[in-house]
Amino acid sequence: MSKVEFNKETGPREVFCGLTSIVWLHRRMPDAFFLVVGSRTCAHLIQSAAGVMIFAEPRFGTAILEEKDLAGLADAHEELDRVVNDLIARRPEIKTLFLVGSCPSEVIKLDLATVAEKLNKRFLGQVRFVNYSGSGIETTFTQGEDGALKALIPLIESSDEEKLLLVGTLANNVEDRFKKIFRNLGISNIESFPPRQSTELPKIGKNTKVLLTQPYLSDTVRDLKHRGCEIISAPFPLGIEGSTEWFLAAAKAFKISELKVHEIISPLINRAKLALESHKEILKGKRLFLLPESQLEISLARFLHNECEMDLIEVGTPYLNKDLMKEEINLLPDNTKIVEGQHVEKQLDRVRESNPDLVVCGMGLANPLEAEGISTKWSIEMVFSPIHGIDQAADLAGLFSKPLRRNQILTSKTLVTH
């Protein structure tokens, strides 16, 4: 392991909670509905984080707790029953309904597992109910997906068939590319989790080899292990290097030669390197500060340093699972400063002191930093854009080079803001 500096920080945080992941999860599984049991804050959070108004009736919503629900718990269960009945009557096409716990529902100890169990009996054969928590007191941003996937595992049937299981939400086009490449490598039985339809869950067992596409799935990984799955240890498929190592690790697990892998992916690597060139020109030697949010930060830092030659000032992450991240950490340059957790004020002090060329941060901080003359990239775009794989390496670099390029065009560094 490279000599990486680990730090922990606590204090006020500027991050999203796990409910935010509903924004991409509901798009991944169009036959599922996500019902948050929470407050008006939860409802407002999801609609604000999604950043858009709704263009039709959405497949997520909030059962907003009211004062009368807080008075007695028995009431809350009945009320939730009523809301679910209304919802299913209105949306009969829904096949899976996720009951999503929130900060208030966790604090009043609303037992969503029991509610889900009862509803499963009542709607047997029509709708499946699963529950997980996306609360801010337990989860940060992408951990919501970890919770949702973990909640689906008990529904998965067992099978000893040998297969490659890609775990973590990917953009559909990226997923298709990956599957094609794996087929070319000679791996034919490939499935994804989460699937594109919530009812088409892959079967798993001792011959299932799990390849993670996202770094934030600690709990899911643990439960997949319990079900006998083999977890392939690899960096994550961001950038050329990460993707190459990722394909190699998968190939090794399926006893496919390295030579074969190189034969298949070299043309991809060559054109990706070509495409990366113009971005590298801009990013090279620029100093980068990553604030914590998505848990993608370590992989992004590795890509931006190793392939785009950026200098790393600080790599923040909301949570660090050293075991899951060991292959990534190994690829980081020596003396990389990783900070787990956040004290947003102290961290912003460090941002200002270090005078970075680019800061990766949440939307609440981006414009204030821009107003101070510091270029930023919003981290939420990383989870909404297709950035995985060799063919997307230049697009990924482009997310970071664009603000710098823009900054070069608009030369004035400090503007009066209104």
Applying CB under 8 A, which part among 22-30, 46-54, 157-165, 282-290 lies near another protein? 46-54
Among the residue ranges 79-87, 149-157, 215-223, 231-239, the one whose residues contact another protein (CB under 8 A): 79-87
- Indicate whether 80 belongs to the interface with another protein (CB under 8 A): yes
Q: What are the phi and psi torsion angles at 353 (to 5°)?
A: -65, -35
Does residue 54 touch another protein according to CB under 8 A? yes
The two tokens of residue 328 are 């990534």
Taking CB under 8 A as the rule, does residue 172 contact another protein? Answer: yes
Nearer to another protein, 311 or 372 (CB): 372
Q: Is residue 282 involved in binding another protein (CB under 8 A)?
A: no
Interaction residues for another protein, span 323-352 (CB under 8 A):
345
**Per CB under 8 A, does 366 bind another protein?**
yes
Piece of 170-178, 218-226, 297-305, 328-336 that binds another protein (CB under 8 A): 170-178
Say whether residue 234 binds another protein (CB under 8 A).
Answer: no
Q: Would you count residue 43 as binding another protein (CB under 8 A)? A: yes
15 binds another protein, rule: CB under 8 A = yes
The minimum distance between CB 372 and another protein, in angstroms, equals 8
- Is there binding between residue 137 and another protein (CB under 8 A)? yes
Tokens standing for residue 338: 């990783």
| Residue 265 is a binding residue for another protein (CB under 8 A) | no
Instruction: Check residue 272 for interaction with another protein (CB under 8 A).
Output: yes
Q: Is the peptide bond before 202 cis (omega within 30 degrees of 0)?
A: no
Stretch that binds another protein, among 5-13, 240-248, 294-302, 331-339 (CB under 8 A): 5-13
Closest CB to another protein among 137 and 155?
Answer: 137
Indicate which single residue of 158, 173, 188, 335 sits in contact with another protein (rule: CB under 8 A): 173
- 415 binds another protein per the rule CB under 8 A: yes
Q: Which is nearer to another protein, 204 or 238 (CB)?
A: 238
Per the structure block, which two tokens stand in for 356?
């970075």
Cβ within 8 Å of residue 352, ≥6 positions away: 372, 374
Q: What is the DSSP string of 264-330?
A: HHHHHHHHHHHHHHHHHHHHTT-EEEE-SSSS-HHHHHHHHHHTT-PEEEEEEES---TTTTHHHHH
**By the rule CB under 8 A, 40 interacts with another protein:** yes
Q: Does 381 bind another protein (CB under 8 A)?
A: no
16 binds another protein (CB under 8 A): yes
Decide: is 73 part of the binding site for another protein (CB under 8 A): no
Residue 19 binds another protein (CB under 8 A) = yes
93 interacts with another protein by CB under 8 A: no
Pick the piece of the chain touching another protein (CB under 8 A) from 52-60, 119-127, 216-224, 243-251: 52-60
Residues 353, 324: Cα–Cα separation, whole Å: 32
Instruction: Please name the residue that has the structure tokens 């009320």.
Output: 79
Provide, rounded to whole angstroms, the least separation between the CB of residue 206 and another protein.
34
Among 364, 381, 408, 413, binds another protein (CB under 8 A): 364
The strand ranges marked E within 88-151 are 96-101, 128-133
Written as one letter, the residue type at 29 is M
Kind of pairing between the strands at 337-341 and 230-231: unpaired
Q: Does 193 participate in binding another protein (rule CB under 8 A)? A: no
Which of 222, 218, 164 shows the shortest CA–CA distance to 193? 164
* Residue 157 near residue 205, CB atoms below 8 Å: no
Of the listed pieces 17-25, 151-159, 241-249, 403-411, which binds another protein according to CB under 8 A? 17-25
Torsion sign, CA atoms 132, 133, 134, 139: negative
Write 321-328 long-range contacts (CB < 8 A, 24+).
321/218, 324/212, 324/215, 324/217, 324/218, 324/221, 325/215, 325/298, 326/1, 326/233, 327/233, 327/234, 327/235, 327/245, 327/249, 328/215, 328/235, 328/236, 328/242, 328/298, 328/299, 328/302
From first CA to last CA, the distance across the chain in angstroms is 48
